[in-house]
Amino acid sequence: MAVGGDRPGSAGDAGSPLAQRLNYLFANMHPPGAPYTNGHVAEEISNGAEYGEVGLTEQYLSMLRNGKRANPSPDVLRALAKFFAVPVGYLMGDLSDSQAERVEEEVRFLVAMRDQRVRAIALRSVGLPPEVQDSLTTIISQFRQQMNLPSDPPGAGGEERP
């Protein structure tokens, strides 16, 4: 599985911002293996008390994802946000571009952490002095360059994590 997955607004996504964001979450926010289906998400939300008694059908979710419906109730948006563990403002379009990018950065991080090898590398670096962590980052960048990959994975932004 490619780390980072599809980006909102990429070719093939439905045109509405909600559809783009839902498709991004479907493509990226799932357990290892296959992405969720519309039917699975609709059933989980409709049958889960934690989603607030929201009734959601597979067909309606499909229409949201393909842009045929773009104005769901706030309850449906809250349930979808809770299911995918993102702020409801991300789906409502209430976040600034930088805030939405931060949500997507966290999604990319979670996707990367699904890979057991990536997780092992990250966990083994915990507790090492910062200069050693910087050296490891340099070594990984050199390997990426030798393999004709960008020095940072897509969406990494080169930002430091606290």
Closest CA to 90 of 20, 5, 3: 20
C-alpha to C-alpha distance for 91 and 80, rounded to whole angstroms: 8
How much is the pTM? 0.70
**What confidence score (pLDDT) does residue 34 get?**
83
Residue 28 has pLDDT above 60, yes or no: yes
Q: What is the pLDDT of residues 131-145, one digit of tens each?
A: 999 999 899 889 989
Task: With cut-offs at 50, 70 and 90, classify the pLDDT of residue 14.
Answer: low
Give the separation between CA 30 and CA 22, rounded to whole angstroms.
Answer: 12
Neighbours of 72 (CB within 10 A): 21
Mean pLDDT, residues 88-93 taken together = 90
